[in-house]
């Protein structure tokens, strides 16, 4: 990619004289708008794809979009600071320096170079904001933070050159506070072209420094925002208000995702930061009410289930990694049965704060504002809460999380759930899971675990290969029993069964993921079973069937940085996918098994097909209120000849 204009400005005598007379003032007078873009390239720029022998170059692509959308002479300054990556996919930006550029009619002009600065250090950000405001003063300004995002715990940014350092929320808040102390100015729009940053915690720490926040609850695709459209709009109408500009960012992002075939699970919202305090007040009122009721075990279990079943973002399975980020409105809706008044007040406050949003086909009913509720990631609970407690976010909420955790540990006790596996009899042909009546209130989900006996396998010590979990159960409320409903059918991609994991269940769909090798690299295939609803005839609204929809492929959360993968890869003809399975050996070891490699075609699809094997081991898997997983003994079933 070589669309960037290479106009490197050296420190000539003339330049030094200009700096001396202007006091580092590169722009004369006050412009209509200055857009500051903090472009932390990281692996989004430097990652190398061995399949097609190219660098990811997402930062370079966005720089080219800016050039394409910019119109000179409109009174708009576009200022970019680059850094944070080992390699740029162009011959213009240097990875050995932190650089500042101004967009001109001829392209990007280098105006300052420095030794590499840590983009995950708060002073690096605050210095850029101060420098940009001082040298490119404008009536209005916007700040865009470009990179990975990881939400309220791990914050924003990941600098490849400084051991993956990032800006946690207290550092981000410190940078904005330090900059404002000097500039005395707020931004019209503060945007995160990054994943998972549309949280109430983020909105709270930026509310004193901008009018509007633009951010995503969910992961963003690698292409990110549509900078061509944003700058075309801004340079055509430099007097645009912050609300209008934010709406343009959101709408153009959605169209950009459609054009890149990545719109199915995106979100992006505009948050009026003047209304965030009302959300905090409503949240604290609801939480204070809940705190008084936590000693009631039934209330506790129902509250816990509300957090666990609320719509989640970013990754909330063992295979994906965990974020524990949930949609605030979804959470409140689940609390309506026991806290109707205060849950409704919270919903109304959220609706007032989120003034505009878009969502993909499989992100229906998102509110535009999320919250951290530590639940699933039990292994890293203490570490995550240390980071979370450093933020200035609501002490009331943080105290509640501590109280909730202590109560949950107390109720878990020895962790046992009284249950019985009942074999088929003359009266009942199915295996069933019977849970003690007193423990039923503790149960959230019940699945079937499926193991197949490999018919042909060179690993002779493998007894069964794991095909995953699914909701193949029927509940009988009169007996507190769950019947297995396995009919020897499973999810297939073309000719091969997949090892599936349930990610989330909603009213209109169930989300899954499956570990695969995608062109030789381990990734997760993300897809959903969508319930088809009758739209004509007598039974309008009735579920009449279903079909699969593929979202794409994504890597898991980086275990070192806590940052989720921003890239969603789409299956294309010629790609090779190999299913991965877990094998269970005779001595109880789990091993990874590769299935049959498949070359994808234009007709490749998911389907629900009959399994070829004849012998299977099943077990009931059930998850309790504390997200502890339980499993019954295995039982064997045979396909009739």
- DSSP assignments along 496-562, one per residue: EE--BEEEEE-SSEEEEEEEEEETTEEEEEEEEEEEEE--SSTTTT-EEEEEEEEEEEE----TTT-
Check residue 14 and give its pLDDT: 34
Record the tokens describing residue 194, joined without a space.
Answer: 């990054």
The per-residue b/e assignment along 67-95, b for 16 or more CB within 10 angstroms, e otherwise, is bebbeeebbbbbbbbbbbbebbbbebbeb
pLDDT mean over 338-354: 97
Picking from 8-12, 76-80, 315-319, 541-545, which range would have the lowest pLDDT averaged per residue? 8-12
Check residue 288 and give its pLDDT: 97
87: pLDDT strictly greater than 70: yes
Check residue 508 and give its pLDDT: 80
590: pLDDT strictly greater than 90: no
Q: Quickly state the pLDDT bin for 8 (edges 50, 70, 90).
A: very low
- Please give the Cα distance from 492 to 612 (Å, whole number): 11
Q: Quickly state the pLDDT bin for 540 (edges 50, 70, 90).
A: low
- Please give the Cα distance from 111 to 10 (Å, whole number): 9
Q: Whose structure tokens read 């007894």? A: 463
- pLDDT: which is higher, 450 or 587: 450
pLDDT mean over 323-349: 96
Check residue 19 and give its pLDDT: 38
Check residue 408 and give its pLDDT: 93
**311: which residues sit within 8 A by CB, 6+ positions away?**
326, 327, 330, 365, 366, 504, 506
Cα–Cα distances in angstroms (integers) from residue 322 to residues 360, 375, 378, in the given order: 22, 9, 9
Cα-based torsion angle of the residue sequence 7, 12, 16, 17 in order, rounded to the nearest 10 degrees: -110
pLDDT mean over 181-195: 97
Record the tokens describing residue 353, joined without a space.
Answer: 């704060």
pLDDT mean over 526-531: 90
Local structure of residue 570 (DSSP, 8 states): P
- Please give the Cα distance from 368 to 105 (Å, whole number): 36
- Fold category of 27-185+221-263 in CATH: Rossmann fold (3.40.50)
8 A C-beta contact, residue 512 and residue 527? yes
Bridge partners of 483? 432, 474
Check residue 45 and give its pLDDT: 94
Check residue 36 and give its pLDDT: 98
- Please give the Cα distance from 438 to 537 (Å, whole number): 44
Q: Quickly state the pLDDT bin for 459 (edges 50, 70, 90).
A: low
Check residue 541 and give its pLDDT: 54
Residue 81 CA neighbour count, 13 Å, CB half: 23
Q: Quickly state the pLDDT bin for 9 (edges 50, 70, 90).
A: very low
Q: Quickly state the pLDDT bin for 198 (edges 50, 70, 90).
A: very high
10: pLDDT strictly greater than 50: no
Check residue 538 and give its pLDDT: 58
Phi, psi (deg, nearest 5) at residue 245: -65, -40
76: pLDDT strictly greater than 50: yes
16: pLDDT strictly greater than 50: no
Q: Quickly state the pLDDT bin for 6 (edges 50, 70, 90).
A: very low
Q: Quickly state the pLDDT bin for 62 (edges 50, 70, 90).
A: very high
CATH 3.40.50.11970 residue spans of the chain: 27-185+221-263
Question: In 367-522, which residue ranges form alpha helices assigned H by DSSP?
Answer: 381-389, 395-412
Check residue 17 and give its pLDDT: 36
Put simply, whether the predicted model's pTM sits higher than 0.75 gets the answer yes
25: pLDDT strictly greater than 60: no
- pLDDT: which is higher, 25 or 585: 585
Q: Quickly state the pLDDT bin for 581 (edges 50, 70, 90).
A: very high
Helix (H) or strand (E) holding 207: none
- pLDDT: which is higher, 48 or 136: 136
The helix/strand/coil state of 323 is coil
257: pLDDT strictly greater than 90: yes
Q: Quickly state the pLDDT bin for 394 (edges 50, 70, 90).
A: very high
Picking from 178-182, 494-498, 545-549, 572-576, which range would have the lowest pLDDT averaged per residue? 545-549
273: pLDDT strictly greater than 60: yes
Picking from 103-107, 196-200, 327-331, 610-614, which range would have the lowest pLDDT averaged per residue? 610-614
Q: Quickly state the pLDDT bin for 471 (edges 50, 70, 90).
A: very high
The number of beta carbons lying within 10 Å of the beta carbon of residue 172 is: 24
pLDDT mean over 201-212: 98
Q: Whose structure tokens read 């207290």? A: 170
Check residue 11 and give its pLDDT: 35
Averaged pLDDT of the chain:
90
- pLDDT: which is higher, 275 or 47: 275
- pLDDT: which is higher, 47 or 211: 211
């Amino acid at each position: 990619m070589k669309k960037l204009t290479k106009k490197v400005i050296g420190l000539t005598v003339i330049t030094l004289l200009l700096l001396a007379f202007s006091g580092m003032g590169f722009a004369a007078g006050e412009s209509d708008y200055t857009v500051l873009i903090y472009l932390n390239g990281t692996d989004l720029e430097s990652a190398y794809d061995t399949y097609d022998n190219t660098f990811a170059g997402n930062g370079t692509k966005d720089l080219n979009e800016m050039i394409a959308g910019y119109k000179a002479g409109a009174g708009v300054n576009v200022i970019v600071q680059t850094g944070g990556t080992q390699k740029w996919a162009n011959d213009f930006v240097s990875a050995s320096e932190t650089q500042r550029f101004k967009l001109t009619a001829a392209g990007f002009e280098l105006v300052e170079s420095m030794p590499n600065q840590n983009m995950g250090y708060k002073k690096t950000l605050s210095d850029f904001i101060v420098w940009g405001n001082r040298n490119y003063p404008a009536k209005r300004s916007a700040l865009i933070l470009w990179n990975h995002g990881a939400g309220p715990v791990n914050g924003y940014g990941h600098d490849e050159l400084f051991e993956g350092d990032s800006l946690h929320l207290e550092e981000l808040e410190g940078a904005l506070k330090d900059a404002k102390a000097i500039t005395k100015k707020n931004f019209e729009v503060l945007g995160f072209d990054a994943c998972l940053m549309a949280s109430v915690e983020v909105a709270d720490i930026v509310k004193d420094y901008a009018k509007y926040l633009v951010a995503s609850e969910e992961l963003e695709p690698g292409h990110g925002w549509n900078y061509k459209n944003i700058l075309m709009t801004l340079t055509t109408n430099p007097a645009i208000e912050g609300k209008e500009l934010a709406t343009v960012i959101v709408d153009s992002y959605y169209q950009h995702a459609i054009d890149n075939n990545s719109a199915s699970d995106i979100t992006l919202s505009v948050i009026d930061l003047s209304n965030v305090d009302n959300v905090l007040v409503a949240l604290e009122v609801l939480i204070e009410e809940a705190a008084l009721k936590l000693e009631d075990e039934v209330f506790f279990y129902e509250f816990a289930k509300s957090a666990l079943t609320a719509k989640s973002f970013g990754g909330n399975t063992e295979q994906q990694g965990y974020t524990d980020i949930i949609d605030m409105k979804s959470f409140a809706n689940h609390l309506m049965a026991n806290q109707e008044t205060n849950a409704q007040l919270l919903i109304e406050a959220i609706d007032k704060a989120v003034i505009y949003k878009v969502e993909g086909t499989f992100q229906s009913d998102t509110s535009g504002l999320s919250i951290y509720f530590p639940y699933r990631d039990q292994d890293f609970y203490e570490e995550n809460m240390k980071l979370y407690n450093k933020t200035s976010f609501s002490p009331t909420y943080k105290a509640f999380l501590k109280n909730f955790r202590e109560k949950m540990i107390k109720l878990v006790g020895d962790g046992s759930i009284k249950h019985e596996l009942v074999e088929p009899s003359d009266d009942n042909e199915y295996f069933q899971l019977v849970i003690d009546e007193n423990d039923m209130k503790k149960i959230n989900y019940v699945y079937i675990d499926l193991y197949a006996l490999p018919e042909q396998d060179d690993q002779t010590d493998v007894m069964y290969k794991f095909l995953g979990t699914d909701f193949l159960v029927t509940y009988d409320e009169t007996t507190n029993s769950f019947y297995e409903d396995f009919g020897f059918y499973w999810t297939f991609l073309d000719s091969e069964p997949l090892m599936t994991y349930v990610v989330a269940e909603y009213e209109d769909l169930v989300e899954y993921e499956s570990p695969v090798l995608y062109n030789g690299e381990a990734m997760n295939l993300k897809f959903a079973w969508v319930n088809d609803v009758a739209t004509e005839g007598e039974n309008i609204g009735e579920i009449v069937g279903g079909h699969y929809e593929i979202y794409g492929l994504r890597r898991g959360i980086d275990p070192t940085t806590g940052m989720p993968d921003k890239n969603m890869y789409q299956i294309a003809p010629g790609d090779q996918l190999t299913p991965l399975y877990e094998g269970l050996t005779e001595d109880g070891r789990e091993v990874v098994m590769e299935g049959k490699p498949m070359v994808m075609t234009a007709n490749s699809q998911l389907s629900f097909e009959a399994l070829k094997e004849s012998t299977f081991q099943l077990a009931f898997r059930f998850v309790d209120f504390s997200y502890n997983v339980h499993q019954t003994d295995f039982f064997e079933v045979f396909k009739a000849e």
